[in-house]
Chains A and B, each alone.
Chain A
Amino acid sequence: MKKDDIFLPKILTFLCNWCSYAGADLAGTSRLQYPASILPVRVMCSSRVDPLLILRAFLNGFDGVLVTGCHLGDCHYQEGNYYTRRRFVMLKKVFDSLGLESDRLRLSWVSAAEGQKYAKVATEFTQKIRELGENSSKNKIFL
């Protein structure tokens, strides 16, 4: 297979400003390899990521949505990521109950020091999405 034929998914990635964004930055400055599938969006805290944002990305045709934040206990707003987790579980449940592919959604805690982990999560998730294929919502008309 030619390199161009490999499906390059589009993954919307929310990065918490205080930890994960720095982690992603570190991955970059350390010249770690990870796929170009990631479209980063910086948010002040993972808890800023309203489930509606994830839903909208999904319906607009993003192949995957990755939400990242500080490790539990490290959130710069004390408890933001605990709420993020609850909302995320809830959203996944909505997806599962309706037979939507909840595997296209992922939550991950990445600290500022974890450039390695960031690159790993990005690579793994991209791989996972490749297995799932394109998000069919991309070309739906009656949304």
Chain B
Amino acid sequence: MPSQVAGLSTAEADGDDLVVVARRSPLRAMGMVVVVALAALLVYTLVTNPRFEWAVVARYFTAEAVFEGVLLTLQLTALAMIGGIVLGVILAVMRLSKSVLLSRCAWTYIWFFRGTPLMIQLIFWFNLSALFPGTGVNALITPYVAALLGLTLNEAAYLAEIVRGGLLGVDRGQTEAAQALGIGRGRILLGVVLPQAMRVIVPPTANQTVAMLKNTSLVSVLGVADLLHSAQIIYSRTFQTIPLLIVASLWYLVITTVLGVGQHYVEKYYGRGSDPLAGQEAA
């Protein structure tokens, strides 16, 4: 906007046609050179070293066994996260409840499942029938069930704390306003408090989902044919260890990338109303 300030000539007041030059740091230029050199070296090795066996990677990337492993990994991740979120919300509400009994129960659960290694928990569920021999437990706890149970129960403990933090961050006035309207407690939680807490809950939960995706690889110890285990089965036969680990890694990267895109949209959805500009668009 051309300035009309009295007492200044237009040339002095008008900054429109001035050119801004940012300071350049010589260190930054040097850093750039180093990074580019290292990257070139890496690419060179990847391309020229025949032991990476890229042809093998390409062949197995879409192999049926690998594909089934991908599906199983996705399924385990999705189910364990959904179960973990539901249980986590319940645990968080219990911890915040006025009832000492409920809050202590939730605290103990979280203490136990966060305090022991996931690997032990998985093997424990797998061997549950050893505790109850001769009952139906053995038939019930298949490797898949043990895997899902272990991942879900463990995840719930972490998510409970994330959800609790989110719920605590919502202004008490929100609950009071809803109570004053006669809205019931469950409705207040699900319709008023939780949606506002989601803004705080979603980013760490997305983090947890990525961690979960990779934690599912632990279930290979139970013999469940997830992505990693499928790759392992193949390379134990063909000894093409490195290429198959690359195949698995590439798939994990693809999935985390897609998850990242999904996170962006979920965050945008739960941020509605909190960003004045976003709100105006909606109006």
Q: Do A and B come from one complex?
A: no
